[in-house]
Structure 1
Amino acid sequence: MPESTPARRIVGILRLAAGFALAAALTFQIIEKVANNDMVADQYFSYFTIQSSLIAAVALIVGGVMALRLPVDTVLYTVVRMSVFSYAVVTAVVYNVLLRGIPEEGFIESRWPGELMHVWIPLFIALDWFLSPGRPALRWTGLRFVVIYPLAWLAFTMLRGAATGWFPYPFLEPSTGVLSIAVYVVGISVFIVGLASIGIAWSRARAGRPAAVTA
């Protein structure tokens, strides 16, 4: 089996560092909330940011190990990584454009975990996607994989919100109006697909002949 290259090993170390830093931020935030009697678990784990951060942490750690051992990432992992890239960038943009600065009620948590999840890790994931070596090209059918999680999350969120009256983000609140919700949902969905399309196009431009997507 071919061995990893020096550049790939550097990428592996950086991915592991980012993955464990993200896991540490999530762990710290959970512990802090619990210690201050501010943890509502079913709500906390319903946020797109939290769920996508958990996915990103696993993907970064798995990708780090893979980069240390192999000269090229597997196609399946690259599809997952491309999806994580799309989720991370849209999370950063939506938070910093729509949600940053909204007054918090009750306990005010430490800022650094949120900044890591909403700014620095998405930035690392984007740079990793565009700059790291050892990525196979993807077929355009990979777009079908990217939309599975966001659509499932949206369906669950709206059904849960209708039953409980709680929505994780202000722009999903029924009080904003059906048209407003639809505009935000369609806009964010198009953004995710657009980011994934850029990711696939970049993989094809950098890696040559596209390999078959296995997911």
Structure 2
Amino acid sequence: MLRTARWAWIWSFVRIAAAVLGVAAVIAQLQRSTSNALQFGWHVPTVVANFLSFFTIQSNLIAAVTLTIGAVWWWRRGRVTEDAEPQGYAVLLLCATTYMVTTGVVYNLLLRNIPLPQGQTVAWSNEVLHVVIPLVMLLDLLFAPRRRALAWKRVLVVVIYPIVWVIYTLLRGPLITSPGSDVPYWYPYPFLNPNNPELVPPGYAGVAVYVIGIAIGIVVVAFFVVWVGRRRAVAPPTPTGAATAAQ
């Protein structure tokens, strides 16, 4: 069933629906954040920049773009060929899936029980971005048609963006005054805030512990995504053709 044209059509619509839902959730939360900024006289450009600095927001936007590209590829090319998904798209899908699955795991393990600011967070949007879309990307990995086998070395591509994001976050944090308070710093997540008194060990050492732990998790998830893709590939890689299949 998963290799039939009917299933590919169905899954293309699932991808589009998930992309639209994810973007709608991002827009809803952005509207709430900017509305609060205007109401309380906060610096709107800073509020918007902070919003767009969340790994959750960025990874959801990456996922929405990726899902849309996959659906459009099927409607334009996939339905008239038996080929696997394009190699470039397969790498993008690897990255998006890894980031979203990691987002879901980190949120539900580390952030789920942290009280959300009343009146500042859109509840349904929060669940969509942290639970629904990560689940969709996991289901996409397991059930989407035309999966391409990638070389294991593609995992290296996955880690580039998280490394850049962490560096950006740690450099920017001390330079931003938190909107609505006099706190002379702003970090998107408490485990990245070296001023957080609950970090063990305290300071940047505690941040490093979390960063290393999450980095290991990202690599593990990426290897899992590649492994599933190789098992589900339209044309399984051969000992001599594995690298070719991932080019």
**TM-score relative to the length of structure 2:** 0.80
Q: Could you list the per-position Cα deviations for residues 151-190 of structure 1 after superposition, in whole angstroms to 9, with x for gaps in the alignment?
A: 0000100111133321111011113323321111111001
**Residue 127 of structure 2 corresponds to residue 115 of structure 1:** yes
Contact 2:194 2:206 in 1 (8 A): no
Match of 2:179 in 1: none
Match of 1:65 in 2: 72
Match of 2:51 in 1: 44
Counterpart Cα distance in 2 of 1:155 and 1:96: 24
RMSD: 1.7
Counterpart Cα distance in 1 of 2:143 and 2:164: 30
2:220 partner letter: G
Match of 1:190 in 2: 216
**Residue 185 of structure 2 corresponds to residue 160 of structure 1:** no
Contact 2:32 2:120 in 1 (8 A): no
Q: Could you list the per-position Cα deviations for residues 56-89 of structure 1 after superposition, in whole angstroms to 9, with x for gaps in the alignment?
A: 1111111111233315311111111111111101
**TM-score relative to the length of structure 1:** 0.91
Q: Structure 1 stretches of 5 or more lacking a match?
A: none
1:169 partner letter: Y
**Residue 93 of structure 2 corresponds to residue 81 of structure 1:** yes
Structure with the larger helix share: 1
- Bigger Cα displacement from structure 2, 49-58 vs 199-208: 199-208
1:28 partner letter: A
Counterpart Cα distance in 2 of 1:213 and 1:8: 22
Contact 2:148 2:246 in 1 (8 A): no
Q: Structure 2 stretches of 5 or more lacking a match?
A: 39-43, 177-184
**Residue 60 of structure 2 corresponds to residue 53 of structure 1:** yes
Bigger RCO (CA 8 Å, 6+ sep):
1
Counterpart Cα distance in 2 of 1:11 and 1:106: 37
Counterpart Cα distance in 2 of 1:139 and 1:9: 27
Match of 1:104 in 2: 116
- Bigger Cα displacement from structure 2, 195-204 vs 69-78: 69-78
Counterpart Cα distance in 1 of 2:150 and 2:214: 23
Counterpart Cα distance in 2 of 1:179 and 1:33: 31
Contact 1:12 1:66 in 2 (8 A): no
Counterpart Cα distance in 2 of 1:26 and 1:170: 21
What is the count of residue pairs matched by the alignment?
211
